[in-house]
Amino acid sequence: MAKRRKTQAERENERAQADRQAWEEFEPRLAGLQTLEDAAQLVAEAPPVDYPGRGYYSNLGFFLQQFTVPNGSNGAERLLYARFVERLDAAGALKPGAAAQILLALVRT
């Protein structure tokens, strides 16, 4: 018996569900970052290209390069980036005044 082929809507629903699950796994890890080393380690654990959630890791990697807001990031990601920057600033890991500039850029986007 031939296997029924999934519809476009079913495939899109599965991708969306896989992305939600990937976010649910990634979000607490992003929220718990304390150091730049922790962040770099998280980026290094990114799933392969075209896997669900890869974009979250890519966005974080882009953000860490120059603390620039990634175009593909969502509001929840930017909020967690802001909290991470605040933790870095409190720990003295950023140059004086850098946190304010980064936070302003995150808010404007």
Each residue's pLDDT tens digit, 38-82: 999 999 999 999 999 999 999 999 999 999 999 999 999 999 999
**Does pLDDT of 109 surpass 90?**
no
Distance set, CA 82 to CA 11, 78, 99, 105 (Å)? 34, 6, 9, 10
Within a domain: residue 70? yes
Within a domain: residue 50? yes
Q: What average pLDDT does the chain have? A: 95
Within a domain: residue 2? no
Give me the number of domains the chain comprises: 1
Q: How confident is the model at residue 1 (pLDDT cuts 50, 70, 90)?
A: low
**The predicted structure's pLDDT at residue 53:** 95
Within a domain: residue 103? yes
Domain extent at residue 29: 10-108
Within a domain: residue 48? yes
- Closest to 63 measured CA to CA, from 75, 73, 48: 73
Q: Which two tokens stand for residue 101?
A: 């500039």
Within a domain: residue 99? yes
pTM above 0.75, yes or no: yes
Q: Give 39-62 as a DSSP string.
A: HHHHHHTPPPTTSTTHHHHHHHHH
**The predicted structure's pLDDT at residue 90:** 97
